[in-house]
């Protein structure tokens, strides 16, 4: 199909948030657009929005390229129709039945559905080969990703035309399989799901979880801030839809906290209140200036569970090694070994050789602190820390052993601040905050790849562009090492005994291949 602006008219059904945004994206590039919506007031709202943003870009002349229509029949001249009406299978099927008559082949019919099966929508059309998904992200004129969804019968030419159209709109298209949530909405599930469980279990507050996600792992927006922006109802409905479509996959089980917010009508920014309150202007988060002031030497044990730790210490001017340089008493003790590397004797050697007033930081990533305390003679000095995300972030997760003294706790807090990081104390819990969230993202991405939703690179690209993740989940997993991802997930699985945390078979395969190298 020729998708040049001279020969391709774009039809858009539904002039709501997405439909108006898609129409605007097409108008920016000079396409003729027919925007249809049968509900009173919808077209006017869409027109206001479109004209405002065209004017902002000095493209008001393009406003003449759009026809606003109340009747579906007006879509007859369209070569590609993109549907963006309410997320309801029956309603969408009824619309596609009518479009089948109004826009006969070779016109292409695409759906912007977020969670419904495109194959089911296509099934009502005489030639389902001309139907595929074209899933934009909100705000459509700005976000660069488009998922082109290969429904059961989608013809290669249909997919090629939609890919070409996405490129013509200066978007990056990724072709995905027609499985619940496609790539982005699926792989992102644990970001919300694990955050909600952490909150529900009282491991940390939602502000602390957001802070760790943003300043500990580099996400643009923490999960709760993001749910408030998306709309808690939209997010919860997507969760529920995926749960139902997979007949109860436990990774997608909605959390009662989001359902309660839906029932209460506190849906996020759009209602003035969600997890945060937007009724008054939001109080700025107090982020103290972080200055590295610890001087001298830091004792860091052998081990691979604290990537970049020694380099970080050296960068801020500290001697850091497993042996304290002669003449320098260690100012802090960090263990870098995980469960697979930690020998009880070794921990005790570190403890025995150091000043008793120093707290000892031990990775509490693949072991809870409760378990760690059973391995040492001095549990009153043990502070669990998120060693995996320590070096890379400015916020650091800490957790206290039940026997930790107030003095050691205060000293640990000070030490972390003096290292230029912000301490966030959370309840002792498997995988703490970031490893639990991030490694479940890696797991979900691996499942998506296993189930042919997309290539590994495609999945990573989609997550970076679609939801702005700092890294693609699979690249992230590779960077930490898949054996660590598996160890962490097995730890979660063993502690919770829930299928939700079963590690994808692909991760185990990749972990073994790492050993071969």
- Binding to ligand NAD in span 65-84, by CB under 6 A: 84
- Does 138 sit near ligand NAD (CB under 6 A)? yes
Question: Has 449 been annotated as catalytic?
Answer: no
Q: Where are the alpha helices (DSSP H) in 337-472?
A: 344-352, 369-373, 406-418, 434-450, 456-467
- Does 368 sit near ligand NAD (CB under 6 A)? no
At its nearest, how many Å lie between ligand NAD and the CB of residue 184?
9
Helix 434-450 vs helix 189-200: crossing angle, to nearest 10: 150
- Marked catalytic residue, from 154, 185, 241, 443: 185
Taking CB under 6 A as the binding criterion, the range among 3-11, 32-40, 297-305, 461-469 that sits at the site for ligand NAD is 32-40
Are 178 and 205 within 8 A, CB to CB? no
Question: Has 135 been annotated as catalytic?
Answer: yes
Q: In this complex, which beta carbon is closest to ligand NAD, that of residue 38 or of residue 127?
A: 38
- Marked catalytic residue, from 83, 147, 153, 488: 147
- Marked catalytic residue, from 111, 112, 135, 194: 135
From 17, 93, 98, 271, residue interacting with ligand NAD (rule: CB under 6 A): 17
From 19, 363, 435, 473, residue interacting with ligand NAD (rule: CB under 6 A): 19
- Does 113 sit near ligand NAD (CB under 6 A)? yes
Taking CB under 6 A as the binding criterion, the range among 133-141, 244-252, 285-293, 350-358 that sits at the site for ligand NAD is 133-141
- Does 114 sit near ligand NAD (CB under 6 A)? yes
Q: In this complex, which beta carbon is closest to ligand NAD, that of residue 66 or of residue 375?
A: 66
Q: What is the DSSP letter of 130?
A: G
- Does 242 sit near ligand NAD (CB under 6 A)? no
Query: Apex CA 410: angle with CA 407 and CA 415, to 5°?
Result: 120
Q: In this complex, which beta carbon is closest to ligand NAD, that of residue 21 or of residue 431?
A: 21
Rounded-to-integer distance, Cα 11 and Cα 165, Å: 13
Taking CB under 6 A as the binding criterion, the range among 136-144, 318-326, 354-362, 391-399 that sits at the site for ligand NAD is 136-144
Taking CB under 6 A as the binding criterion, the range among 108-116, 121-129, 247-255, 472-480 that sits at the site for ligand NAD is 108-116
From 23, 34, 80, 95, residue interacting with ligand NAD (rule: CB under 6 A): 95
- Does 166 sit near ligand NAD (CB under 6 A)? no
Rounded-to-integer distance, Cα 305 and Cα 290, Å: 24
- Does 112 sit near ligand NAD (CB under 6 A)? yes
Rounded-to-integer distance, Cα 5 and Cα 29, Å: 8
Question: Has 429 been annotated as catalytic?
Answer: no
At its nearest, how many Å lie between ligand NAD and the CB of residue 49?
11
Are 262 and 247 within 8 A, CB to CB? no
At its nearest, how many Å lie between ligand NAD and the CB of residue 357?
53
Residue 311, C-beta contacts closer than 8 angstroms, at least 6 positions apart: 391
Rounded-to-integer distance, Cα 2 and Cα 11, Å: 15
**80-83 and 108-111 strand pairing:** parallel
At its nearest, how many Å lie between ligand NAD and the CB of residue 116?
7
Neighbouring C-beta atoms of residue 310, cutoff 10 Å: 19
At its nearest, how many Å lie between ligand NAD and the CB of residue 245?
14
- Does 151 sit near ligand NAD (CB under 6 A)? no
**145-150 and 131-136 strand pairing:** antiparallel
- Marked catalytic residue, from 114, 235, 301, 401: 114
Cα first-last separation, the chain: 47
From 1, 3, 15, 33, residue interacting with ligand NAD (rule: CB under 6 A): 15
In 3D space, the residue among 9, 61, 51, 50 whose CA is nearest the CA of residue 31 turns out to be 9
- Does 16 sit near ligand NAD (CB under 6 A)? yes
Q: Name the residue with the smallest CB distance to ligand NAD.
A: 16
Taking CB under 6 A as the binding criterion, the range among 130-138, 195-203, 217-225, 317-325 that sits at the site for ligand NAD is 130-138
Q: How deeply is 237 buried, as exposed, middle or buried, from its count of CB atoms within 10 A (0-12, 13-18, 19+)?
A: middle
Residue 417, C-beta contacts closer than 8 angstroms, at least 6 positions apart: 288, 290, 423
Q: In this complex, which beta carbon is closest to ligand NAD, that of residue 226 or of residue 294?
A: 226
Rounded-to-integer distance, Cα 263 and Cα 265, Å: 5
Answer positive or negative: Cα dihedral of 243, 248, 252, 258.
positive
Rounded-to-integer distance, Cα 119 and Cα 150, Å: 8
Q: In this complex, which beta carbon is closest to ligand NAD, that of residue 14 or of residue 268?
A: 14
At its nearest, how many Å lie between ligand NAD and the CB of residue 91?
5
Answer positive or negative: Cα dihedral of 365, 366, 370, 375.
negative
Rounded-to-integer distance, Cα 88 and Cα 70, Å: 20
Q: What torsion, rounded to 10 degrees, do the Cα atoms 181, 184, 186, 192 define?
A: -130
- Does 142 sit near ligand NAD (CB under 6 A)? no
Question: Has 185 been annotated as catalytic?
Answer: yes
Distances (CA, A) of 489 to 166, 169, 171, 502: 37, 40, 35, 7
At its nearest, how many Å lie between ligand NAD and the CB of residue 153?
20
From 11, 14, 141, 454, residue interacting with ligand NAD (rule: CB under 6 A): 14
Total residues in contact with ligand NAD, by rule CB under 6 A:
23
Taking CB under 6 A as the binding criterion, the range among 16-24, 169-177, 419-427, 496-504 that sits at the site for ligand NAD is 16-24
- Does 336 sit near ligand NAD (CB under 6 A)? no
The counts of H helices and E strands in the chain are 21, 15
In 3D space, the residue among 28, 16, 272, 10 whose CA is nearest the CA of residue 141 turns out to be 28
Name the site residues for ligand NAD (rule: CB under 6 A).
13-19, 37-39, 42, 84-87, 91, 95, 112-114, 136-138
Q: Write out the catalytic residue numbers.
A: 114, 135, 147, 185
């Amino acid at each position: 199909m020729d998708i040049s602006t001279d020969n391709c008219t774009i039809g858009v059904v539904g002039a709501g948030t997405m439909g108006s945004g898609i129409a605007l994206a097409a108008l920016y590039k000079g396409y003729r657009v027919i925007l249809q919506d049968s509900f009173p007031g919808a077209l006017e709202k869409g027109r206001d929005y479109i004209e405002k943003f065209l004017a902002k870009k000095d493209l008001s002349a393009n406003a003449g390229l759009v026809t606003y229509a109340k009747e579906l029949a007006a879509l007859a001249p369209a070569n590609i129709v993109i549907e963006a009406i309410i997320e309801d299978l029956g309603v969408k099927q009824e619309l596609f039945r009518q479009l089948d008559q109004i826009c006969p082949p070779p016109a292409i019919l695409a759906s912007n559905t977020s969670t419904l099966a495109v194959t089911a929508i296509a099934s009502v059309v005489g030639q389902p080969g001309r139907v595929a998904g074209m899933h934009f992200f909100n705000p459509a004129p700005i976000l660069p990703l488009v998922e082109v969804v290969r429904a059961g019968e989608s013809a290669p030419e249909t997919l090629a035309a939609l890919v070409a159209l996405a490129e013509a709109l200066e978007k990056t298209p990724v072709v995905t399989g027609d499985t619940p949530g496609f790539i982005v909405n699926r792989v992102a599930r644990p970001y919300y799901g694990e955050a909600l469980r952490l909150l529900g279990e009282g491991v940390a507050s939602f502000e602390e979880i957001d802070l760790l996600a943003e300043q500990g792992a580099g996400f643009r927006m923490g999960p709760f801030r993001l749910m408030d922006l998306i709309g808690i109802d939209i997010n919860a409905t997507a969760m529920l839809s995926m749960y139902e479509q997979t007949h109860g996959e436990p990774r997608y089980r909605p959390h009662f906290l989001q359902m309660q917010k839906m029932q209460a009508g506190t849906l996020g920014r759009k209602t003035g209140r969600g997890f945060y309150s937007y009724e008054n202007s939001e109080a700025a988060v107090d982020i103290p200036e972080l200055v590295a002031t610890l001087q001298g030497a830091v004792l860091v044990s052998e081990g691979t569970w604290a990537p970049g730790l020694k380099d970080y210490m050296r960068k801020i001017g500290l001697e850091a090694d497993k042996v304290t340089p002669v003449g320098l008493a260690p100012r802090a003790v960090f263990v870098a070994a995980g469960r697979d590397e930690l020998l009880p004797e070794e921990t005790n050697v570190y403890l025995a050789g150091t000043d008793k007033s120093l707290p000892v930081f031990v990775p509490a990533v693949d072991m809870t602190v409760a378990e760690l305390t059973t391995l040492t003679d001095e549990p009153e000095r043990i502070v669990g820390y998120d060693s995996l995300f320590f070096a890379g972030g400015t916020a650091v997760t800490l957790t206290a052993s039940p026997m930790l003294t107030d003095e050691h706790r205060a000293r640990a807090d000070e030490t972390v601040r003096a290292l230029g990081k912000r301490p966030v104390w959370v309840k002792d819990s498997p995988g703490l905050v970031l490893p639990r969230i991030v490694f479940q993202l890696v797991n979900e991405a691996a499942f998506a790849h296993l189930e042919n939703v997309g290539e590994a690179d495609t999945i990573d690209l989609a997550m970076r562009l679609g939801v702005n993740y700092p890294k693609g989940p699979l690249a992230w997993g590779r960077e930490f090492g898949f054996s660590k991802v598996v160890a962490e997930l097995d730890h979660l699985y063993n502690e919770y005994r829930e299928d939700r945390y079963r590690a994808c078979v692909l991760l185990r395969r990749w972990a073994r291949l790492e050993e071969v190298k």
